[in-house]
Every structure is written in structure tokens, then in C-alpha cells.
Structure 1
Amino acid sequence: MPSAAPAIVPSRNERLVLAVDLGTSGCKVALIGMDGSVLAWTFRPVALHLVDELGVEQDPQDWWHAFLDGAQELLTSDTRRRRQVVAVCCSTFGECTIPVDQEGNALARAMLWVDMRGADAIRRRARRGRLNIQGYGPLRLARWLRLTGGAPSLSGKDPAGHMAWLYDHQPALVERTSKFLNALDFMNLRLTGRFCATYDSALTTWATDNRDLSQVRYDAGLLRLLGVDRDKLPDLVHSTEVIGHLLPTVADILGLAPDTKVVAGGIDNSAAAIGAGTVRDGELHLYLGTSSWLGAHMPHKRTHISTFIASLPCAQRDRYLAMAMQTTACGNLSFLRDRILFHADELLGDDQRTDVYPLLDRIADRVPAGSRGLFYMPWLHGERTPVDDRHLRAGLFNLSLEHTREDMIRAFLEGVALNTRWMLEPMLDFVDSGRGGAITIVGGGGQSEVWCQMIADVTGMVIQQPHAPIQANALGAAFIAGIGLGELSFHDVPALCRHRHRFEPRQALRHLYDDSFATFKQLHKRLAPLYRRLNQHRSVPR
């Protein structure tokens, strides 16, 4: 009887990671080599569900089906690719909450990072007595900051707020819940059958002691403060840990080997920091997706309470990631496209939609810098850094008869750029980085050369554009997998990340944008009290 042929083991250069980038708009799946080459990728959209005006949800089954559908497209076209895949690793958006039963079945849709139903519930837990600091009881705030590096968002937009709302309003559901999971935890559960959370995915439960990165753990006192049962939270693992192999059913569906490893991965900000190549201390990356953030690695835990910036656990075992987050970036362009330019009503039908973003670039590029005095405040869903204010709203200011749709389009882009400068100023101080450095831009918005140049001009910083900004999260997941498998180190990553273009700030526009930025901050100062009065007792418009 002939012996079985030996298994073909791909060389390091041929070994691939099936990398998953689950964002709010949908799921990207990519095949990425250990050298950072992206062989193929695909995208599947995922629907949003608006609930009771303050709620924003997604169905976790939609994430899973989007992943399977995209992965099958990439793998079925080439049997050789299936043999080359040695690991699966996910990057997902964070700050969402899914209650699951003992078998891992979702008991409800996921509450997302923009869901504000838990604001009142978490505010009751955050303060005690009349004395408070920015809405927090002083002793409670001090404990959160000392142990975690941050504190629950009083807007309710994180798992601490979500779970508080569920405990207060859905006690029967909580009783049936075996575990509360983040999106990353849910995907890893479906891949391996294992209940676990990474240090970064568990972070915004605000129940972990993060002072020692070698032993991040849940803190009993914080759990009591939040009113959350420890047994309803998954065990903690590091992002680079191999958490198991693909479940046989999943391996069979995808046509992958049953010994394909699954590496824990990270939430989007951790993965983007790696995929951008910004692994050294103080190197800044700017993510421009539905939301936006600035991130930079640091050697120690630190918090700046007045600007809502903190350094927190991330994918690197011995480093924290300083984070400054803003609620809406490219979401403003989606709003412009879906609610204004191509809103389906009597004036326009769905069949008239087109790939609008390249056109927006072209239009904005021919409008003079400064949008002819028109300003846009991009606070569609409140703001987080450098102010945590759920009452803020977006708007055009100084609109006149001379303005056209073209001016409005540029004003939308400039508004996000000015908002970026608003969070950049305290971030530079936080990470002790001067304006002489550069920012690597990633995410879907980073594909726009017009926007990259605009952000360079507005911030006065050099902007570095990678070859594929939209693939940074998937690339970060692939590098995390390579490190988890022992085939890469974090020191290897910068050389594997290639830049396509470098945008220098134009000195001729410096005075104009300095004046625009001063006006932008003044608009916030003047309008914030009015927004608070208008929106304090009403829900977020749908």
C-alpha cells in the first residue's frame, strides 16, 4: 500500500494570513503575506439598525455571514491559496456589547459604540453625592484613572454604559446572559469556540487593572462599582496569543486545514497602529474612517483628564497606546452622500447614485482654501476629544448667497481637518512630540490625496500616505498574527510598511488656516451652551 504524500508546507514567503477587518460599515477580508503584501481583499456591507432614537445596533450574525461570504470569495478561486493560509486573525471596531448564552448564541443585537441609551445609567454609577468632577464622583474617578487609565464615557457609548443600561432595563436578558462580548470576542468565539477577550477589547468595560501589562486582570472593586458580575465577562488574553485552531465546521466551510491557527488579534485602533507601521514611541497615526482617532505608542500609562486622552493597553506587550478619539469623520461624508446629495425622495431616486467620493475630491480641489468663509462643524453625533459632549451637533456657519454646493463640499472636508487639529494640539503635548514630525494617515479617508494635503495644510504637520490606507487594519491583523506565530517581531514592522506619498504643509496657507482654526474653536465655545440647552432633554435626531 503506497504511503501518503507528505504535506506541502509553504515557505515563510508563501505563508498567508486570512486577515479580517470588521468596521461599522462592513467587513473586509484580505489574504496577506508575512512580508505585508496584500494578495487580494474584498468587502461586504453590514446594515445598521436604529432603535428608540438613541440606540444603534447591528446583528452579529450579519458580521459572521459577511466574513464567511468574503473569505469564501477569496479562497475558492485558487486552491493553492487555501493551502498557504496558516492563520486567521481579526481586527474589529471596539466599544460594542453582545450578550450571548452558554453556547455562544447572541441573545440580542450588538449595541454599538454610538449607542447612547446607557448615558443615564452610567452617570448614576459614575457619581455619588453632590460633589463631582466633570460628572464623576471624585473617589470613583480617581480609582478608575489609577487602575484603568480612563473612565466610562458619560455619553453611554461604551460597554460600561451598555451593560449598565441592560442591567437597569433588561434584567431578564441579563439573567439569561452567560457572557458579554465585544465584536472581536464574538468573532474569535465563532472561529474557535473559545470565550476570551483581549486586553484592548475588554478595556472599555472599565473594569480591568491595567497598571502592569504583564498581568492585566479584572478588578473586583471596579466590578462592584459598575454592578457587573465577573462570571459574565470572558477571560483575558494578549493580542498576539494563539487562542486555538479553527473549529472543524468553519475550516470545512472555508476549505482550510483543520490545524489553521487563530491569533487573538486586536480592536481597530491597536491594529491600525501596527498596520500603519507606527510601532515606535511617539510615532503618530491618524485613522479616518466612520469615526477618527490619533494614536501613538508610549512606554507608560498616563491620563489627561481635561482633554480625554489616555494611554491604554494595546497589541504590543510592553507598550501602551495613547488615544485621542473623535466621534464622526468620514461619517460626515456618508451623511452628505446619503442624506443630502443622494437622498431617495421625489427629487432623486436610488438609481441615480454613483461612486461619489472621487467626485467630491475633484469638486473640493477646485474650491479655494477656506471654502470662501464657510465653516462646517462635524459633530453629527456629539464629540469625545478634546471635549466629551454628547449634546454637540453639526452645522454650516456663515452660509450666504455667494456659496454653492461646491463650497459646502469643501467645507465638510475642512471641518473634519479642523476638528483633527483640535484633538492634535493636546495629543502632541501628551506624547511629547513636536510639530516637526509626521502623521501616517490610514482608513478609507486616507485614500483621498486632496484630503491628505488639506489635513497637512490645516495641521501644519507632514502627512504620510501608505500605499493602501484602507487596508491598514487588515495589515495590522496580519502582522499581529505573524508575531503570534513567532515569524515576525514588532521591530520588523516599519520596514514592511510602504508609503506612497508625503504631503508637506504649504506655508502660503498657514495664516488662513490659523485664523480658520481660531474661528472654529470660538464657534464651539459660543455654540456649546446653546446645543446643551437644545439637546439636553431630547433624543438624537434620526
Structure 2
Amino acid sequence: MVERGRRVHPGRHGRDDGRAARGAPGAVSDLCLAVDLGTGGPKVALVTLEGEVVDVEIHAVATRVDPTGAATQDPEEWWRLIASASRRLVATVDPSRVVAIGVTGQYASTVPVDEHGRPVGECLTWLDTRGVAHARSVLGGPVMGYAPLKVAAFVRRSAGAPSVSAGDPLGQILYLERERPEVAARTRWYVEPIDYLTGRMTGVATGSPASRLALWLTDTRDLASVDYDARLVRLSRLPAEKLPPLVATGSVVGGLCALAADALGVRAGTPVVGAVPDLHAAALGARAVAPFQAHAALSTTAWVSCPVPSKKTDVVHSIATVPGLGDGRYLVIDNQETGARALEWCRDLLWPEASYEELTALAATAPAGSNGVRVGPWLAGERSPVEDKGLRAVIAGLGVATGRADLVRAVMEGVAANVAWLFEHVERFTRHRLEPVSLVGGGAESTLWCQMVADATGRAVVRTPSPRVAQLRGVGHLCALALGRTTLDELAGRPPEGERFEPAAPPGGSDLAALYRLERAWRRAGRRPRPRLG
């Protein structure tokens, strides 16, 4: 088990100075206990209902991977880390101030649980591809990998379809049902990680149209409908009796049960708000909640999103709409499999002992353009704007004079250009110029990276305050909405907060498209039969 906990004082850019936040403004405000269960591990925080992160702990967990395509985590480890962090945080305040609990985090993952909400196996994360063959057996066919009539039914009703080339709940659940019968036999519900946490807190298994978005099993033509679509469930061949009941997005799912209250150090009966994916929490944390107010994420993965008034799908570029924040609108959904994680990979390869600040400072010593070094940051394949699980990272332009600073900067520029490549297609999808773009995620702590994104997209970028914990800010707003303390219109009416970066160079997204075509050509060349000699 990897456990690296640290207390963070959320300063202007969310930098860790090793101190707990004390005496912060709003110290007598009502608080929520907020949990952000990312792929790298949980963040646990006390957040005001105005969205101020007062105190936070960040912990790391291990993802176990192997050549079979497995990528799993231990749900009990999540719970132990979250519970111990919660007790420490709540002990620093009057517990009566904690008036709600909210959860956000990773999605497109599967936790098998029993009737009591306890895990009966490991979590299959969104990186787990062992179920791909089973997903193909259900939806696979000759058109972009799909059976046309089946995928058309999904797109028409839900605006998207489960992936047949990457890790998704459809393949994960089918894998467990067909290849892990001992786990399937003990499973009462297949839930998302965030819904596992709310179920553990309340004793009630639930999901919502937002939290279960990666199943694509709800008819999103009518956002007032909160249920699975019977035809899509039949087409999926999933066991309907093991899918948890759905509740309205952002509603209170129950009170904190006595057992969980003892574990968390929070009063029993405290309202627990239905969990939302990190996409939704990021939109709330950036206050990008009005139509076409855009935000982009530089987290482990990367994405570009905004609320839109109608359902839509771009099958070619893997961009769609999903149920939004419960206001009758949708959120644009897309995903790039590698975001700021690329910089972590670069550090581990070149300079393992370096801090994030040291890496970005080193990158700043290289000129724009990284002395001709180019990086396509596709370490784990790609979903948007191309779905290509076989895509791999490309480094081009290396020479004898290439230095470490050039390579680090090229990785950062490559991620920014990849976001810009996606951004071009999202603007076409929405038919709107999206500006300014609120930037969230740990990568946005770097002033250099924020400027790179502005330059690459050709759009003004606003760095959300404390961007690393933007989703926790969003959970504060989510709890305020659920308790009736604010409205989305009130949130949208405030101007974007944070430092603004204006583009100072020509947009660069199309450059990554060219690099992608080059990588595909290399792969095709590598598959061609070689002439036999002699």
C-alpha cells in the first residue's frame, strides 16, 4: 500500500506549505466534509458552503497493474484513508459546523459490493481493459468498431455508447460476471467508486444519471426522467438487478449512518449528498455553470467542457453530452487519457527526486518550442478527439544538443497542444467561441502551463483559485445547492475568479493532429510484412 498523506494550506494557487489552514476567512461558516476520490488517491477537506477550502489532506493510493490489462485499487484502502483524514480534520473544528457531506471523483470504474455496501472484490478502474473483449461481443461491429443498429440505439437515447476499445463499466461488469464468478456470486450491486462511498456512508445503494454516465443506460432526451432505459439495459446484457437505483443528481441520498459517523467523526444523520463525477464538480468549482461557460482540466487526465442546452453527439471525435447539474441542461463530455500525468512520467524517468516546482522552473529555462523537440503525450492511448487505445506517445526532434529542460518543456507544450486539439473540436461541437476558459487541476498551478494553454488554444485562460482543489470547491457548492443555500443562477452570476492569461502565440492544436497522423503511419509501417532476404 502506498500512503503518502500531507496537510495542505490552500493558498492562492493551492501550493502546499506544510501548514494546516487556521483562522481563514469564513471560519465560523457552516462546513461540509468534501471528498474527491481521484485515480491517484483521495483528497479530504473541510469546505465552506461558499466554496472556500478551509483545510485539506491529500493521500496517495496504488493502482495495481499487470500485463493482462488489470488496473485495480482497494476500496477498503480508500475508506481507511478517508475515515482517518476526516477524524483529524473534524477534530480541529466544532463538529456541529459540519452540516453536509459530498463526494466527487473518478468515474467509469466498477466496485462490486454486497447487500451492506461492503466491497467483495477490488475496484476495476477506468484503466482496466480486461473486459474489452466482452464489450465487443455485445456492441462490436464493422463501423468504427461498433454494430451500427446497436450503437445507434444508444446514441439516440443516451448521446453516447460504452467503449469497445477501452476500460468502461460495461466491459468491467461483464468481465466480472463471466470470468470472476466467485466475485459475481457475492455481488449485490455494481457501483461507481463515488457511489460506493455514499453507500458506505448511508447504508443505501444509489446512483444518479450523472454518476452512472459512463454506462450510457439512461434516456437523456428527457432530463426529468431518472431511471435506466429498459431497451438499453437489454442491449447491454448487464444484470439489471445488480444496477443500483437512481436518484436525482445532486439530491440528498440519506443521513450518515451510525457506523460511518463513528468512522468519520461526524454527527450521525448529517445529510449525505449524491455523488457527482469530477467533471461536474470541476464545473461547479470553476463556477462555469451557465450555458457555454467553459472550463478545462489539467489533472491526471484532461478535458474541455461547458454546459449546453441540448443533447448532441460527435461520434467521430468522441464528444457527447451527459446529464448536467440538475438544471435541465447538459454538460459536454470528452476525455484525454493523459493530462498532467505526463509531467509525472517525465519526472520519474528523468529526475525522480524533483518537485513539481523544480520541474516547471527547469522547463521555463528552455525557449518556447523546446528547441525543436515535440511530444505527443499519449501514454495511455486516447479517447478524444480520436478514440485510439493503441496510440502511444511520440517524442520527435531530439538531437545531441537536446537538454533535460528541452524535454520537460516539450512534455508540457505537448499536453497544452493536445488540449488545444480537443478544444478546436469542442468549439465546433458547441458552435460557440468559448472564452474565457477556466482552468482547473494540479497542472494549472504552473503559471507557465497556464500560459501554454492560452497560447495553444488562442483563448484567454483564467486560473481558478487553488486549482488543485477546484473539485473540492465544487463539492462545497454542490452541498449548498442540495441544502437550498444557493442556486446555479447565483453561482453563474459571479465573474470568473483568478489570474487571467492572454494568448501570446498562434494556436497550436493542429500541430498535434499532424503528429498523430505521423504516429499512425509509423504503426502501420511496423505492421507491414518485411521482405525476406536470401
| TM-score, scaled to structure 2 | 0.90
- Report whether the alignment pairs 1:527 with 2:523: no
1:228 is displaced (CA, Å) by 0.7
Which amino acid counterpart does residue 217 of structure 2 have in structure 1? Answer: A
Contact 1:299 1:319 in 2 (8 A): yes
Contact 2:257 2:269 in 1 (8 A): no
1:339 is displaced (CA, Å) by 3.5
1:454 is displaced (CA, Å) by 0.9
SS in 1 for 2:276: strand
Q: How do 1:101-500 residues align onto structure 2 when only pairs under 5 Å count?
A: 101-127=114-140, 132-342=142-352, 353-354=353-354, 356-434=355-433, 437-494=435-492, 499-500=497-498
Aligned residues, how many?
503
Deviations 1:222-255 (A, max 9, x none): 2222211111000001222111111112223333
Contact 2:437 2:462 in 1 (8 A): yes
Deviations 1:180-234 (A, max 9, x none): 0101110001110000002112121222222111113212222222211111000
Q: Distance in 2 between matches of 1:198 and 1:179?
A: 14
What's the counterpart of residue 29 of structure 2?
A: 14
- Report whether the alignment pairs 1:99 with 2:112: yes
Q: Distance in 1 between matches of 2:263 and 2:406?
A: 50
Q: Distance in 1 between matches of 2:459 and 2:262?
A: 49
Q: Distance in 1 between matches of 2:524 and 2:430?
A: 31
What's the counterpart of residue 72 of structure 2?
A: 57
SS in 2 for 1:312: strand
Do the aligned partners of residues 52 and 403 (structure 1) sit closer, same or farther apart at CA in structure 2, a change above 3 Å counting? closer
Contact 2:417 2:511 in 1 (8 A): no
1:475 is displaced (CA, Å) by 1.1
Root-mean-square deviation (Å): 1.9
Contact 1:46 1:66 in 2 (8 A): no
Deviates more, 1:381-390 or 1:211-220: 211-220
Q: Flag structure 1 segments of 5+ consecutive residues without an equivalent.
A: 1-10, 343-352, 537-542
Contact 1:199 1:236 in 2 (8 A): yes
Q: Flag structure 2 segments of 5+ consecutive residues without an equivalent.
A: 1-25, 529-534
- Give every structure 1 segment of 4 or more consecutive aligned residues whose post-TM-superposition deviation is greater than 4 Å: 495-498, 532-536
Which amino acid counterpart does residue 489 of structure 1 have in structure 2? Answer: T
SS in 1 for 2:103: strand
What's the counterpart of residue 18 of structure 2?
A: none
Contact 1:238 1:317 in 2 (8 A): no
Do the aligned partners of residues 532 and 273 (structure 1) sit closer, same or farther apart at CA in structure 2, a change above 3 Å counting? farther
Do the aligned partners of residues 362 and 90 (structure 1) sit closer, same or farther apart at CA in structure 2, a change above 3 Å counting? same
Deviates more, 1:235-244 or 1:419-428: 235-244
Contact 1:263 1:484 in 2 (8 A): yes
Which amino acid counterpart does residue 467 of structure 1 have in structure 2? Answer: P
What's the counterpart of residue 39 of structure 1?
A: 54
| TM-score, scaled to structure 1 | 0.89
1:359 is displaced (CA, Å) by 1.0
SS in 1 for 2:101: strand
What's the counterpart of residue 504 of structure 1?
A: 502
Which amino acid counterpart does residue 154 of structure 1 have in structure 2? Answer: V
Q: Distance in 1 between matches of 2:225 and 2:384?
A: 29
Contact 1:271 1:315 in 2 (8 A): no
Contact 1:120 1:156 in 2 (8 A): no
Contact 1:294 1:424 in 2 (8 A): yes
Do the aligned partners of residues 390 and 136 (structure 1) sit closer, same or farther apart at CA in structure 2, a change above 3 Å counting? same
